[in-house]
């Protein structure tokens, strides 16, 4: 089938593109290459260097006739969203609406949307949080992701457009860009290997649900099936503190680095961990990569890159 991946030159997107190509699908990519990299894009995929807000996307849809859209392109920096909510909304909300309107116009069957399992819930009251947990975003980024979920449901009701919104935990792994994309594991790993001082936001006791990119790609592939519709968490159900991540990475890189703490990051919740039983029960998906295994593979990637 014809698959369109937005943000396909980025961290998660490039892995998704590789998997679709591997399974014999025709893949096109839309990426403005602001944070994504051309070298990440599989040679078998067609790359269009455009922004998701562009009016030129109409030509791409007309040419490629995608059956499924995997929408990963986003402004994903929480800090920038608090500093410039207008920019965040323009990219994440208006860009998504642009895609959904074109999806309806050109008869797309399904949209798989990358939402955020941390940002949409805000400060959790239940641990781990299921999809029924109250949503109370602490940042414009979280608000924009939640807004897109509502728009997806609107287009489902009004135009019959199928959708699956995957609320990712903290995704990590090879190709994550420590300069342009959120990801404390990538940031710390690069700093340790370069002999730079790492800075932990706040006391470092904030927790996250770290899920390896290969498991996330598997969830995306399952979600591209017409029978999987609605909102699903994608994580491991396990909490890990930032301090613990830092210590594990120090051990893997064999680099001594002081645990230096800085100011608390605005819009960042204290604890985040996801209950993924809904996805498991309905599809059989389960995370297969342990944190120890995933961190080892990630460090190996950055060592080779260095």
pLDDT at 180 exceeding the cut of 60: no
Catalytic residue (one of 48, 121, 141, 172): 141
Tens of pLDDT, residue by residue over 24-54, are 999 999 999 999 999 999 999 999 999 999 9
Question: 């002999």: which residue's tokens?
Answer: 195
Give ranges for CATH 3.40.50.720 in the chain.
2-171+211-235
Contacts of 65 (CB under 8 A, 6+ apart): 2, 106, 107
The pLDDT assigned to 183 comes to 87
Tell the burial category of 288 from Cβ atoms under 10 Å away from its Cβ (0-12, 13-18, 19+). exposed
- Cβ atoms of 131 and 165 within 8 Å: the answer is no
- Cβ atoms of 181 and 35 within 8 Å: the answer is yes
| Whole-structure pTM value | 0.96
pLDDT at 226 exceeding the cut of 90: no
Nearest to 100 by CA among 28, 157, 151, 166: 151
Q: Is 141 a catalytic residue?
A: yes
Q: What are phi and psi of 208, to 5 degrees?
A: -140, 160
CATH number of 174-207+239-276+283-305: 3.90.25.10
Length of the chain: 306
Q: Could you give the 3-state DSSP secondary structure of residue 168?
A: strand
Q: What angle do CA 123, 232, 28 make, to 5 degrees?
A: 115
Give ranges for CATH 3.90.25.10 in the chain.
174-207+239-276+283-305
Q: What is the DSSP letter of 40?
A: G
The pLDDT assigned to 258 comes to 87
- Cβ atoms of 169 and 234 within 8 Å: the answer is yes
Domain 2-171+211-235 homologous superfamily, CATH: NAD(P)-binding Rossmann-like Domain (3.40.50.720)
Contacts of 246 (CB under 8 A, 6+ apart): 188, 198, 200, 204, 259
């Amino acid at each position: 089938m014809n698959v369109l991946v937005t943000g396909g030159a980025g961290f998660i997107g490039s892995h998704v593109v590789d998997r679709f190509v591997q399974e014999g699908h025709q893949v096109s990519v839309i990426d403005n290459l602001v944070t994504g990299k051309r070298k990440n894009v599989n040679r078998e995929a067609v790359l269009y260097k455009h922004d998701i807000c562009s009016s030129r996307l109409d030509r791409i849809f007309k040419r490629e006739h995608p059956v499924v859209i995997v929408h990963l392109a986003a402004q994903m920096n929480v800090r920038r969203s608090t500093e410039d909510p207008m920019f965040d909304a323009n990219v994440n909300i208006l860009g998504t609406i642009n895609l959904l309107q074109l999806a309806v116009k050109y008869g797309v069957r399904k949209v798989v949307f990358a939402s955020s399992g941390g940002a949409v819930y805000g400060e959790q009251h239940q641990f781990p949080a299921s999809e029924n947990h109250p949503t109370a975003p602490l940042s414009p980024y979280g608000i924009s992701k939640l807004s897109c979920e509502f728009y997806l449901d609107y287009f489902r009701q009004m135009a019959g457009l199928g959708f699956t919104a995957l609320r990712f935990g903290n995704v990590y792994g090879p190709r994550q860009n420590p300069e342009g994309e959120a990801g404390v594991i990538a940031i710390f790993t690069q700093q340790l290997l370069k002999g730079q001082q790492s800075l932990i936001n706040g006391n470092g006791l904030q927790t996250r649900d770290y899920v390896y990119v290969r498991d996330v790609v598997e969830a995306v592939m399952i979600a591209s099936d017409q029978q999987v519709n609605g909102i699903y968490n994608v994580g491991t159900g396990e909490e890990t503190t930032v301090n613990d991540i830092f210590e594990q990475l120090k051990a893997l890189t064999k680099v001594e680095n002081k645990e230096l703490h800085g100011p608390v990051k605005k819009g960042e919740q204290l604890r985040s961990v996801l209950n993924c039983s809904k996805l498991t029960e309905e599809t059989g998906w389960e995370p297969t990569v342990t944190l120890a295994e995933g961190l080892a593979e990630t460090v190996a990637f950055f060592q080779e890159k260095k």
